[in-house]
Amino acid sequence: MGFGVLGVFLGLLLEVSTHGPQAVPRTSWRHQDLDLMEFSEPGIFNYSTLLLSEKQDALYVGAREAIFELSKKNVTVRNNKVQWTVADKAMRMCTLKGKSKERECLNYIRVLQVVDDEQLYVCGTHAFQPQCDYLNLADFSLKGQPEDGRGKCSFDPSQSFTTVMVDGELYSGTAYNFLGSEPIISRYSPYQPLLRTEYSTSWLNEPSFVFADVVRERRNRADGEDDKIYYFFTEVSVEYEFFGKLLIPRVARVCKGDLGGQRTLQKKWTSFLKAKLVCSMPELNFVFNVVHDVFILKGTDWRDTVIYGVFTSQWGNVGLSAVCAYNMTVVEDVFSKGKYMQKATVEQSHTKWVRYNGITPSPRPGACINNLMRQQNMSSSLHLPDKTLQFVKDHPLLEDPVLPIGNGPRLIAKDVNYTQIVVERVTALDRNIYDVIFTGTDKGVVHKSVVFEEGVHIVEEIQLLKTSEPIKTLLLSSETRSLYAGSDSSVVQSPTAFCGRYPSCDDCVLARDPYCAWDPHTAACVNIVDAPSQRLRGLIQSLNGDADKCPSVSGRLVRDYQRVTVKPGSSAELPCLVQSNLAQVMWKSNGSVLTEASRFHLIGENGLLIYSVAPEDQGQYECWSVEWAPAAGKNFSRLLAGYVLSLDLPPRPPHQTGHVTTTQESTSTHAAEGNGMTDRVPLTSDHAPPSFTATVIFTPPPQTDSSLTPPSSSTIKFQPKQHLPPSVNAPRPDKDPAAEYLQHNNSTALLFLFLLFFLLFLAALAYNCYMQYLPAPCLRVRAALLGNHKSAHQPEYRACEGGLMEASATDKINMTEQPTQNGSQSTQNLRALRDTGYETEPECGNGRIPSHSFGDDSPSQQKPFDVDCESQSIQFADADENYC
Ligand SMILES: *[C@@H]1O[C@H](CO)[C@@H](O)[C@H](O)[C@H]1NC(C)=O
Ligand SMILES: *[C@@H]1O[C@H](CO)[C@@H](O)[C@H](O)[C@H]1NC(C)=O
Ligand SMILES: *[C@@H]1O[C@H](CO)[C@@H](O)[C@H](O)[C@H]1NC(C)=O
Ligand SMILES: *[C@@H]1O[C@H](CO)[C@@H](O)[C@H](O)[C@H]1NC(C)=O
Ligand SMILES: *[C@@H]1O[C@H](CO)[C@@H](O)[C@H](O)[C@H]1NC(C)=O
Ligand SMILES: *[C@@H]1O[C@H](CO)[C@@H](O)[C@H](O)[C@H]1NC(C)=O
Ligand SMILES: *[C@@H]1O[C@H](CO)[C@@H](O)[C@H](O)[C@H]1NC(C)=O
């Protein structure tokens, strides 16, 4: 039955990969082709903290044991450097605790925050004893009076954490102890005592912090609402019952004016509330449940703020990343109006989280102080009633989820792991505002995408880093129009657009890049920000990719075509470089489209290889790119290269060239007769008449970042080469029926072989399982099938786990509590899944446990595996009932 589960899982992958939305970057820029500015110093690593100065020309970089000041206009220019190493004593303490001297017990600078124009606040892990200090910008020196950095910076350099400085107060989310087991969200203020979270799993449960930032509401709200600091993290869920640890992405917030409670929640947040962030593909029941980074795109009004997050699934092998966007007013609504969740005790020790339906105390628990509360003489959190405070202490989790704009991801990318995100709002020439999303991957590549009405378009992928390593930090500066990426080995600066690299108007327009437009006067693709304002009107930009807006170019003259002369019988290689991954290549000869006859082969990046050139192959060859612009609803064809092929004819008559061809023919024929496995293409005609009915369009392989490999060669060679063709080369004017039979035979043989191997595999597996050679899950199946039937449900559910998760003791209890899985219940579950992306709790009264009885669904009454698979509907998110 493990196969059933496997089948479901594979089915899911197949479904997601075949039906899921897919986006291919239109253009791929390789690192070596771009002239990017880079900074690194020998012996210094982990350039993972970046801070852009708003006023000065400075990019501050926190690395391992060093802080740099670089020019933000050109990061290769280093203006200042200060070293911050670990003293011997601290190093000894660290190594005594079993940490490595070369790696962990160093000082990783992880916090760089602006205090004022004169100084920065800097923290480092400092050999697992985090310390903070002030950095004087005038002489770029540390004050030398380190403060305790606990709770501000992580102990462990590899542990995730986040900080943000708001009005001189440092907000952070990190671990408070050496082991990293005590998570805390806190505020360090020069004016007030430390404020922090309760140490409780209902507040924070093994969180992995990714981002925090402030959203200013106070200045444009009449109701006196406070500014808020939002935290984003992934934590282990408490509200879902699952075999292993089910991760949940969260947004939490605290109010800036919070001072803690008077008696209850003294020096603790009175405004800490958290909710689930949903990023899922409802139509496929696929959930992205790990958030890696968040960017808050702030508008002039807080209501225009959009939160962008990058997500992957906990089951990373699916290879999908998603970007979800959240409307700030929706987030605000969840926090200000959402229902609370409540811990209810089921049986003795087991607890369950259910919706709280009772009366909530007033003022609303977790709310910030506003004008209404001030009128009621509650001018600060210190005046909040104990009832409200006690309630929020016990109910920090909201039931209502934060749903993404459009109820699904803005962008889904396959075979990439996004690690970082930044977003810039660009006003295009059509006066519309577009959000341009830059996502960094774990392979050093950045994707640049634009969200259009009909869907997302990945404009380009940029190989920012020389080596395939994760982008640790990504920043964007509208002022320098640059992206800054920090990684373990270097800091890289890249322009936000590569308009100048589009050689033609068609390319410039088809790129659909809001930054770029074609300037007909200079015949160049330019960045619209660079263009003088009086020129803007003349620029050509069509963000739906309508290249018909381009001025018609006079066709290339045949006499400009490149001449290629080869000896008879040798082969000719005609290169053609297609910049767009969305374009298809079409080769024309003498004006008609070439079919893939035996002697024409696509090579390298869409070049054409003609084997054994015969006199009738002479003539014009043209390489066309056909690009489909979905938003414009049109195909755009462009001539990319033109050649005139001629034979270097010896004095003898040309029909004497047959010798080579004949030998080739005989070899191929032998091969065909020998094993029947040659991939032979039946020929309609070798003479390529000018009017072909069937056209074969050669499709270039879609390129993703992983395929950013150098092309075969950029130098163009016309050296005649002797190629042995892999297929029959002899002219066959009439169709050979044997050829078709052979082909048919081939596929049947293959299918048969495949089936045979599969059956053999099954037999081997069954035998090994029966002989107890295989590990535990199999043995449990075996026990279930052969052993006694009374305790059958236990091994079965374990078998369903299929070795993917570990079952814990409490999970077993959960299993027996699953409600009866009749049809309507499962449909309900499915529907719930579709709604929010997660299985939701059934509605329950205040503190009462769900009312369905567990007594009557004894395991023996159930079909085997029924319960087990059903309850895994999150893991195998689209688990089809039929499989179970
Ligand atoms: C950046 O600075 C380096 C070193 O001064 C210089 O060689 C390079 O040309 C500069 N690059 C740009 C784009 O200004
Ligand atoms: C620091 O950089 C080194 C060298 O690239 C890398 O091996 C190590 O994992 C990095 N450490 C952290 C904590 O990022
Ligand atoms: C957010 O939601 C509000 C209210 O539903 C709506 O007016 C606003 O346009 C939305 N903003 C975005 C960016 O979707
Ligand atoms: C607030 O305090 C003032 C003065 O202490 C008092 O007169 C008023 O009645 C109070 N209002 C409320 C709603 O408690
Ligand atoms: C994404 O990350 C996961 C886990 O780190 C890894 O197993 C997987 O190979 C990565 N996928 C890609 C396409 O890089
Ligand atoms: C192209 O045209 C020339 C002259 O009209 C002819 O000799 C040649 O065979 C043609 N080539 C092909 C490949 O059709
Ligand atoms: C566009 O071109 C593609 C490939 O060349 C072709 O399959 C498709 O039918 C064309 N569409 C239109 C509307 O011409």
Please identify which residue in the block is written with the tokens 């308009």.
499
Mutation pick for ligand 5 pocket among 417, 445, 468, 469 (CB with most ligand atoms within 8 Å)? 417
Handedness of CA 806, 811, 817, 823 (dihedral sign): negative
**Is residue 15's pLDDT more than 90?**
no
- Residue 481 within a domain: no
Does residue 610 share a domain with residue 542? no
Place of tokens 């935290």: 231
pLDDT of residue 277: 96
Q: How far is the CA of 102 from the centre of ligand 6 (A)?
A: 70
- Would the pLDDT of 29 be above 70? yes
Query: In terms of pLDDT, which residue wins out, 839 or 310?
Result: 310
Cα–chain center distance at 23? 11
pLDDT at 30: 93
Task: Provide DSSP, 526-544.
Answer: EETTTS-GGGGGG-B--TT
Longest dimension (CA), the chain: 109
pLDDT tops 90 at residue 629: no
Do 833 and 808 sit in the same domain of this protein? Answer: yes
Is residue 8, in this structure, part of any structural domain at all?
Answer: no
If you take atom 7 of ligand 1, which residue's CA is the nearest one? 76
CA angle 375, 381, 384 (to 5 degrees): 70
Model confidence over 562-590: pLDDT tens digits?
888 888 888 888 888 888 888 888 888 88
Span 54-76, mean pLDDT?
94
The whole-number pLDDT of residue 555 equals 64
**Residue 548 and residue 627 in one domain:** no
256 occurs within a structural domain? no
The answer to whether the CB of 614 falls within 8 A of the CB of 600 is no
- Res 796 pLDDT > 80: no
**Domain span holding position 592:** 558-647
Task: State the residue for tokens 């043209």.
Answer: 622
Give the amino acid at 192.
Q
pLDDT at residue 596 in the model: 67
List, for residues 297-309, the tens digit of each pLDDT value.
998 888 899 999 9
- Please state the rounded mean pLDDT for residues 542-554: 84
| Position 68 pLDDT exceeds 90 | yes
Amino acid at 50: L
Report the C-alpha gap between 244 and 236 in whole angstroms. Answer: 10
Between residues 869 and 359, the one the model is more confident about: 359
3-state SS, residue 144: coil
Residue 866 domain-assigned?
yes
> Both 564 and 628 in a single domain?
yes
Domain with residue 631: its CATH number is 2.60.40.10
Q: What's the gap in Å between 316 CA and the centre of ligand 5?
A: 6
3-state secondary structure 294-338: EEEECCCCHHHCEEEEEEECCCHHHCEEEEEEEEHHHHHHHHHHC
Residue 799 domain-assigned (yes or no): yes
Q: Atom of ligand 5 at shortest distance to CA of 706?
A: 13
Query: Looking at residues 199-225, what average pLDDT do you find?
Result: 90
Judge if 524 and 588 occupy the same domain: no
pLDDT tens track for 660-712: 333 333 333 333 333 333 232 222 223 333 322 233 333 333 333 333 433 33
Is there a contact between 112 and 51 (Cβ–Cβ < 8 Å)? yes
Domain identity same for 546 and 600? no
H/E segment holding residue 210: strand 208-215
Atom of ligand 3 nearest to the CA of 306: 13
Is pLDDT at 390 greater than 80 in this prediction? yes
pLDDT at 137 over 80: yes
Comparing 615 with 764, the larger pLDDT belongs to 615
Task: Dump pLDDT digits (tens) for 226-235.
Answer: 999 999 999 9
CA distance 109 to 107: 6
pLDDT digits (tens, 9 = 90+) for 801-850: 333 333 333 333 333 333 333 434 433 433 343 344 444 333 333 433 33
Ligand 2 centroid–CA 104 distance in Å is: 9
How high is the pLDDT of residue 347? Answer: 73
- Nearest CA among 335, 152, 348 for reference residue 254: 335
Structural contact between residues 451 and 406, judged by C-beta atoms closer than 8 angstroms: no
Please check the confidence at residue 191 and state whether its pLDDT lies above 90: no
Protein residues whose CB sits closer than 6 Å to any atom of ligand 1: 37, 74, 76-77
- pLDDT of residue 386 exceeding 80, the answer is yes
Query: Which of 129, 449, 167, 158 shows the shortest CA–CA distance to 321?
Result: 449
Residue (of 692, 583, 593) closest to 638 by Cα position: 583
For the beta sheet containing 306-312, the strands, ordered from the edge strand earlier in sequence to the opposite edge, are: 290-297, 306-312, 320-327, 411-414
Total-model pTM: 0.75
Mutate to test the pocket of ligand 2, among 65, 103, 419 (most ligand atoms within 8 A of CB): 103
What distances in angstroms separate CA 118 from CA 12, 24, 87, 189, 766, one per listed residue?
Answer: 56, 46, 27, 18, 72
Identify which has the larger pLDDT, 434 or 572: 434
Dihedral sign of CA atoms 312, 23, 251, 341 in order: negative
Residues 581 and 608 in one domain: yes
**Mutational pocket test of ligand 4: of 371, 372, 377, the residue with most ligand atoms within 8 Å of the beta carbon:** 377
**436 CB burial (10 A radius; 0-12, 13-18, 19+):** buried
Answer whether residue 315 shows pLDDT above 50. Answer: yes
- CA 412 – CA 280 distance, rounded (Å): 10
Token pair belonging to 573 = 């290689």
- Between CA 471 and CA 463 the distance in angstroms is 11
Q: Find the mean pLDDT for residues 381-406.
A: 94
Is residue 521 domain-shared with residue 574, that is, in the same domain? Answer: no
pLDDT reported for residue 761:
62
Cβ atoms of 149 and 126 closer than 8 Å: yes
Question: What residue owns the CA closest to ligand 7's atom 11?
Answer: 635
**pLDDT at res. 92:** 92
Q: Which atom of ligand 6 is nearest to the CA of 615?
A: 9
CA pair distance 441, 208, nearest whole angstrom = 18
Spatial distance between the Cα atoms of 113 and 97, rounded to a whole number of angstroms:
30
Q: Which residue, by CA, sits nearest to atom 2 of ligand 7? A: 635
Task: Say what the pLDDT of residue 541 is.
Answer: 93
Tell me the percentage of the chain whose pLDDT exceeds 70. Answer: 69
Q: Could you tell me which residue, 865 or 440, shows the higher pLDDT?
A: 440
User: 536 lies in a domain?
Assistant: yes
Cα–Cα dist 238/234, whole Å:
12
- 603 and 633 together in one domain: yes
**Ligand 2 atom nearest to 104, measured from its CA:** 13
Distance of CA 657 to the CA centre of its chain: 56
Ligand 2 pocket, CB under 6 A: 45-46, 157-158, 488-489
Q: Are residues 612 and 536 in the same domain?
A: no
pLDDT band at 107; cut points 50, 70, 90:
very high
Give the pairing type, strands 280-281 and 286-287.
antiparallel
> Over the stretch 120-134, which tens digit does the pLDDT of each residue have?
999 999 999 999 999
Which amino acid is located at 72 in the chain? K
Task: Kindly state whether residue 613 falls inside one of the protein's structural domains.
Answer: yes
How far apart CA 143 and CA 847 sit, in angstroms, is 54
Confidence of residue 495 (pLDDT cuts 50, 70, 90): very high
**How confident is the model over 464-491, as pLDDT tens digits?**
999 999 999 999 999 999 999 999 999 9
Domain boundary (601, 632, 647) is at: 647
The pLDDT of residue 774: 53
Percent pLDDT > 90 in the chain is 46
CA 27 – CA 25 distance, rounded (Å): 6
Give the residue with greater pLDDT, 853 vs 16: 16
**DSSP assignment letter at 770:** H
Task: List, in sequence order, the alpha helices (H) in 376-475.
Answer: 386-394
Q: What's the pLDDT at 758?
A: 66
Confidence band of 240 (pLDDT split at 50, 70, 90): confident
pLDDT, tens digit, for every residue of 395-431? Answer: 999 999 999 999 999 999 988 999 999 999 999 999 9
Q: So what's the pLDDT on residue 134?
A: 95
At residue 646, the pLDDT reads 86
Distance 312 CA to ligand 5 centre (A): 10
Residue 362 DSSP symbol = S
The protein residue whose alpha carbon is closest to atom 13 in ligand 7 is: 634
Q: Provide the pLDDT for residue 657.
A: 39
CA distance 582 to 547: 14
Nearest listed ligand to the Cα of residue 379? 4
Average pLDDT score over residue span 740-746: 38
Question: When comparing pLDDT for 533 and 835, which is higher?
Answer: 533
Q: What is the DSSP letter of 281?
A: E
Last residue of a domain, one of 597, 612, 647: 647
Residue 546 domain flag: yes
DSSP 862: S
| Residues in a beta bridge with 449 | 437, 458
Distance 441 CA to ligand 4 centre (A): 57
Same domain as 523, residue 595? no
Q: What pLDDT shows up at residue 735?
A: 32
549 and 592, same domain (yes or no): no
Rounded to 5 degrees, what angle do the CA atoms 183, 185, 187 make? Answer: 140
- Give the orientation angle of helix 793-801 with respect to helix 809-816, to 10 degrees: 120
Q: Which residues line ligand 3 (CB under 6 A)?
A: 306, 327, 329-330, 405
Ligand 7 atom closest to the CA of 635, numbered from 1 = 1
Task: Quote the ligand 6 centre to 610 CA distance (angstroms).
Answer: 14
Domain count for the chain, please give it. Answer: 3
Using most ligand atoms within 8 A of CB, pick from 40, 41, 44, 46 the residue to mutate for ligand 2. Answer: 46
For residue 721, pLDDT over 80 is answered with no
Question: Residue 532: which CATH number?
Answer: 3.30.1680.10
* Position with higher pLDDT, 806 vs 217: 217
Residue 560 has pLDDT above 60, yes or no: yes
Q: Which ligand is nearest to the CA of 43?
A: 2
Which of 588, 620, 647 terminates a domain? The answer is 647
> Rg for the chain (alpha carbons), in Å?
33
Do the Cβ atoms of 47 and 502 come closer than 8 Å? no
Residue 72, H or E segment: none
Nearest CA to ligand 4 atom 7: 377
Residue pair 420/475 in contact (Cβ under 8 Å)? The answer is no
Rounded CA-CA distance 153/881 in Å is 47
Q: What is the DSSP string of 633-687?
A: TEEEEEEEEEEEEEE---SS-GGGTHHHHHHHHHHHHHHHHHHS---PPPPS-SS
Decide which of 667 and 35 is more confident.
35
